[in-house]
Structure 1
Amino acid sequence: MDPLDALEAALELINSRPLGRRPDALEHLRDISPQLLELVPRQKATSANDTPAWRSIAEVRQLRDTLALALLAGTSTQAHQTLEELMDINPPEASLDRTPEPLAAELAQALIPLLQRAATEGALQWVLVCPDPACRTVFLNRAHNRRRRYCSPRCGTRARMARHRQRQSG
């Protein structure tokens, strides 16, 4: 997987966080993005592991929150440091036993090196938070001129209309 695609998949996971009136969108293992599950070997992705599903979801939520701290840290150095700490918590195992790792650990082991590569390539400077207070979606600005401010045309239109109404009323 391309580091930018991995970054977008991580941002999709981050956007599943509850925010304001928006509920947590990560309720079941099936709510995890197919792009992220591609990083995990198929037998582990389908069976997840021997732990109950609620525990797996709790671990993936914890990974999601840590990734949010890393990717929204502000600087590439802070992001690298947080990702390194996360990798130290979930080191790749080179053991011969075939006991499956928790799903969150598998995701972390596959995703973190790609995110570190994306950070090294300077992609984190294009990770933005939608300025619409009702939205606050985290997105990757892939516009060719990098002038995109809002996560979607809908949010941009809503903000422009609010500014227009404010000028008209006052």
Structure 2
Amino acid sequence: MDNADYIAGALRLANARTDDLETLRAELHGEPWWSSRLTEQDLKTLRAVAASLRQSIEAAVSGEHEALTAEVNRLLATYPPRPRLSRGEPEQHRDWHVHIADVETPPAAGIAAAAAWGLAQGIVRHGTERWGKCDAPACGTYFLDTSTNRARQFCSARCANRVHVAAFRQRRRS
């Protein structure tokens, strides 16, 4: 896994619905090693971590650098990354890679460490100007704008299309 994957993981958890265990498992489907082992206690922990990630990203979006620094450092201190060098089984043809937590780490601690690390690396790599919150009404999904012109307003093409179609229909009614 590279830093971009950890950044995506941080955003996935920040935007995840944590209503119940099955919903969270579905939200984290891209991480089967962790999601398949989640427990009710992990759910409680990850609700708090997701809220903290949202608070951190909101601070980045708002330019509140002191709050951002304090919250990300709190996450890193609470869920410190413990990198481990690993290599997949030969039959999997996997390259060398780094896991952010030991394989024996409980799922919530591993996910939280990866998310905290991903958020920190995203801020180091992209600064705070590229973090955003979807402009679509009732969406509120956070994203990282990696476009060349830094003009992204929506979390996805789906939200952008919805807003643009609604605006088009409103203009036609007028």
Does the CA-based 8 Å contact 1:4-1:123 persist in structure 2?
no
Q: Distance in 2 between matches of 1:166 and 1:108?
A: 43
Deviation at 1:112, TM superposition (A): 2.1
Contiguous gaps of at least 5 residues in structure 2: 83-101
What amino acid does structure 2 have at the position aligned with 1:4? A
Match of 2:125 in 1: 121
Match of 2:10 in 1: 10
1:147 to 132, 151, 154: 151
- Larger strand proportion of the pair: 2
TM-score, normalised relative to structure 1:
0.69
Matches within 5 A, 1:13-162: 13-17=13-17, 24=19, 27=22, 30-31=25-26, 33=28, 45=34, 48=37, 53-73=39-59, 74-75=62-63, 76-91=65-80, 101-162=105-166
Does the CA-based 8 Å contact 2:9-2:115 persist in structure 1?
no
Does the CA-based 8 Å contact 1:3-1:117 persist in structure 2?
yes
What stretches of structure 1 move > 6 A for 4+ residues in a row?
Answer: none
Q: Tell me: CA distance 1:47–1:128, structure 2 relative to 1, closer, same or farther (3 Å).
A: closer
Q: Tell me: CA distance 1:138–1:166, structure 2 relative to 1, closer, same or farther (3 Å).
A: same
Does the CA-based 8 Å contact 1:27-1:57 persist in structure 2?
no
Q: Distance in 1 between matches of 2:153 and 2:24?
A: 32
Contiguous gaps of at least 5 residues in structure 1: 19-23
Deviation at 1:54, TM superposition (A): 1.0
How many residues are matched? Answer: 151
Deviation at 1:60, TM superposition (A): 1.4
Deviation at 1:56, TM superposition (A): 1.3
Q: Distance in 2 between matches of 1:3 and 1:111?
A: 10
Local SS of the residue matching 2:129: helix
Local SS of the residue matching 2:71: helix
Match of 1:21 in 2: none
Q: Distance in 2 between matches of 1:130 and 1:46?
A: 26
Deviation at 1:101, TM superposition (A): 4.5
Deviation at 1:82, TM superposition (A): 0.2
**For the aligned residues, what is the CA RMSD?**
3.1
Deviation at 1:144, TM superposition (A): 2.4
Q: Distance in 2 between matches of 1:149 and 1:47?
A: 34
Deviation at 1:11, TM superposition (A): 0.9
